[in-house]
Amino acid sequence: MKRILEGLEPKSVFKYFEEISQIPRGSGNEKEISDYLVAFAKKHNLSVIQDKALNVIIKKDGTPGYENAPGVILQGHMDMVCEKNKDTEHDFLKDPINLKVKDDFVYAEGTTLGADNGIAVAYALALLSSKDIPHPPLEVVVTTNEETGLEGAAALDTSLLKGKILINLDSEEEGEFLVSCAGGGRAHIVLKPEWIKEKVKGPVYSIQIRNLKGGHSGQDINKGRGNANKMMGRILLDIKDNIDFKLISINGGAKDNVIPREIDTIIQVKKENEEDLIKKIKEWDDLFKKEYKTSDSDVTVKIELVREITEEYLSEDTKNKIISILSLIPNGVQTMSMDMEGLVESSTNLGVVITDKDKIEFISAVRSSVKTRKYDIMARIKTLADLVGADYFTRGEYPAWQYTKESKIRDLCIQVYEEMYGKKPVINAIHAGVECGFFAEKMKDIDIISLGPNMWDVHTPNERLSISSTKRVWEFLINVLKRIK
């Protein structure tokens, strides 16, 4: 295998990052990467546990002089969000990530990079394989299905762990230590469609929204970026008020925890309305370019002729219900924190719309650092489902991680950071779910902090990892571990 990252520092970290990048590891497809971690532990004569959820725990004794130091849990997740550009040929079930290096960054060719959270795995493996880095007893916990609802952490038996300090490595901004996170869950509206089987002549068009930036549905929700699913709802409502049309399908977004960048809708109009439809889409293209000129300057709304006949379409009632859901479902920032300036308190993201033969599904990722706010949003979504006669259910709920006033690991991290860089780090909370919430809930006396190197545009094909920041955070982590005695 040609080493793309060879020569980058720290060598061991980038060596392991490149190794795991060769292993497909989308959420739900983690058996191979989980087995790789088990094989790694056995190769290095380390204690290892692999549970039914494919979570992996690897234990390493403290180095000489650290045998009786407080145990440290290093934690991250093995799965990654699998997003690609429309013109990129990539099978996430079998293809390795095609890495590239440009300037100070590691990217992937047309896909997500998986630095979220592959860099945590790489840091941990580099520490576990090290011969000369002083450290206290380590328990490396690598979980599964984090991106689809923190399901691995939810299933983890924490009684297997002895550590009293947890360093989560799933943060994305160097010099910012996370001390609290939102709780959340997924809300599903499932509409049973009524199909009309009838051969109808007339132009069938695909309406497409492309080139939105997307992003993490928690961390980027306050950036005003366009949500393709909600934007298509506006277009369809306008067309419905002005042009008679038949709706054939609508499919937008790929992951509920990603702000949807693209959507495709198939409709049919009468021949005499063809020019009006084309004109209407051009108007929306111009409108969105103006509305999103700052957040999504490259957005486009396109229309393409698909065929001149259809044999099946959704009933008028089903069409109207779909448009109502898209128009009325809550989306975006719902409340801001009154305790921490600039922090989103609660939000929701309509991440996925899928048309199948037997159902049309609308999936939202709901988040809040206040449990009652989360349930308020879910109740509103359920009310909408009830109004249109659709089914509703939730899944993948996870707890918030509450801020604690006293934390020895936080104090130590602040001290080490100030000594190394001569400035104070940022202490922050995050409007996203991190697995710390489950550990805090299950392990009442655990002392937790979350940190990581600089990454940008995670959950999108523009995801990139800073090489220099990866090195600095590695040096910082080593120094913190040395001080835990």
List, by residue number, the catalytic residues: 79, 146
- Per-residue pLDDT tens digits of the chain, which is 485 residues long: 689 999 999 999 999 999 999 999 999 999 999 999 999 999 999 999 999 999 999 999 999 999 999 999 999 999 999 999 989 999 999 999 999 999 999 999 999 999 999 999 999 999 999 999 999 999 999 999 999 878 999 999 999 999 999 999 999 999 999 998 899 999 999 999 999 999 999 999 999 999 999 998 988 999 999 999 999 999 999 999 999 999 999 999 988 889 999 999 999 999 999 999 999 999 999 999 999 999 999 999 999 999 999 999 999 999 999 999 999 999 999 999 887 788 899 999 999 999 999 999 999 999 998 889 999 999 999 999 999 999 999 998 889 898 888 999 999 999 999 999 999 999 998 888 889 999 999 998 999 999 999 999 998 899 999 999 999 999 999 999 999 99
Residue 10 has phi, psi (to 5 degrees) of: -75, 135
What are the residue ranges spanned by the domains of the chain? 11-182+400-483, 185-398
Q: Yes or no: is domain 11-182+400-483 CATH 3.40.630.10?
A: yes
Fold of 185-398: Alpha-Beta Plaits (3.30.70)
CB 74 within 8 A of CB 484: no
CB 349 within 8 A of CB 217: yes
- Give the C-alpha separation, 286 to 293, whole Å: 10
Q: Where are the beta strands (DSSP E) in 195-343?
A: 195-210, 245-252, 263-269, 300-314, 332-336
CB 73 within 8 A of CB 484: no
Two tokens, residue 145: 């299905």
- Give the C-alpha separation, 129 to 106, whole Å: 23
User: Cis omega before residue 425 (within 30°)?
Assistant: no
Using alpha carbons, list the distances in angstroms from residue 387 to 73, 237, 241, 382, 383: 47, 18, 21, 9, 6
The tens digit of pLDDT for each residue in 436-485 reads 999 999 998 999 999 999 999 998 899 999 999 999 999 999 999 999 99
- Give the C-alpha separation, 361 to 321, whole Å: 12
